[in-house]
Amino acid sequence: MGQDERLDAPLIHSGEWKIHYDYAVGETATRFFLHLRDEGKIAGKKCPSCKAVLVPPRAYCERCFVKTEEWVDVGPEGTIEAFTIVYEPFDGLPPPPYVVAYVTLDGATTAMANFVTGLDLSVPEVAARELAVGKRVEAVFSDEREGMITDFHYRLK
């Protein structure tokens, strides 16, 4: 066919799918979310074998491979394990800046992520020093709760 300068800009055909999912939360996480919404408390489940308190709760302990039965309230205070401060916007994420951190709540074995609020984020290095791994935080509960993980966030002690 010879040279065809139209091929300098090959065609692009766009595609877009809007796919809706209805995720079953399950009885274990439902109890966690309802306890959070109605009592303003965070609970984990304790493994009968290794005694680990899994937060967020799991219906089973993957390590021991047994069902978990016992509920344990944890927190509201805890310790930062890891964090970041997001300064750039991303598709599908909230407008920056914001902080997300993994926190091990007192009485829990595993860390649970959430936003950390109440900090001045204007100077990254200063905010990061405030947020250092090992710092203590407290879970703060929203007044209007809807049974979602966003019903609480962390705040530095």
Partner 1 sequence: MVKRVGILGAGHTVFAERRDDVRLEELVFEAASAALADAGIVRADLGTVVMAGADQLDGRSISSMMTAGPAGAYLKDEIRTTTEGSYAAILACLRILSGEYDTALAITWSKTSESPYDLISSLSYDPFYLRPLAFNDVVESAIVSSTYRNLTPQLAEAAAAVVVKNRGNGSLNPRAFLRERTSREAILVSPYVAYPIRSAELPRSCDGAVALVLASEERTLSSDRPPVWIQGFGWGTSDYGYKGETAAGLAGLRAAAASAYAMAGVTRPESEIDFAELSDATPFDELLAYEALGLVSQGTGANFALEGGSAPGGSCPVNISGGAQSTNLRFAAGMMRILETYLQLGHRAGPIQLAAPRQGLAHGATSYPAQGHALFVLRNY
Q: Residue 156, interface with partner 1 (CB under 8 A)?
A: no
Give residues 119-148 in contact with partner 1 (rule: CB under 8 A). 124, 127-128, 132-134, 148
Query: From the CB of 67, what's the least distance to partner 1, in Å?
Result: 19
**Coil/strand/helix, residue 18:** coil
Choice between 68 and 114, CB closer to partner 1: 114
DSSP state of 123: S
Query: From the CB of 129, what's the least distance to partner 1, in Å?
Result: 11
State the Cα–Cα distance between residues 44 and 50, nearest whole angstrom: 14
Look at residues 103, 106, 126, 125 and name the one whose alpha carbon lies nearest to residue 116: 103
Ramachandran area for residue 58 (φ above 0: left; ψ -120 to 50: alpha; else beta): beta
Q: Which residue has the tokens 């993957």?
A: 62
Q: Residue 102, interface with partner 1 (CB under 8 A)?
A: yes
Which residue in the set 64, 100, 140, 156 belongs to the binding site for partner 1 (CB under 8 A)? Answer: 100
Size of the site for partner 1 (CB under 8 A): 45
Output the CA torsion sign for 112, 113, 119, 124.
positive
Give residues 9-68 in contact with partner 1 (rule: CB under 8 A). 9-10, 12, 15, 21, 23, 25, 29, 33, 56
Which residue in the set 37, 41, 76, 98 belongs to the binding site for partner 1 (CB under 8 A)? Answer: 98
State the Cα–Cα distance between residues 47 and 15, nearest whole angstrom: 46
State the Cα–Cα distance between residues 145 and 94, nearest whole angstrom: 19
**Which residues contact partner 1 (rule: CB under 8 A)?**
7, 9-10, 12, 15, 21, 23, 25, 29, 33, 56, 81-88, 90-94, 98, 100-102, 104, 109-115, 124, 127-128, 132-134, 148-150
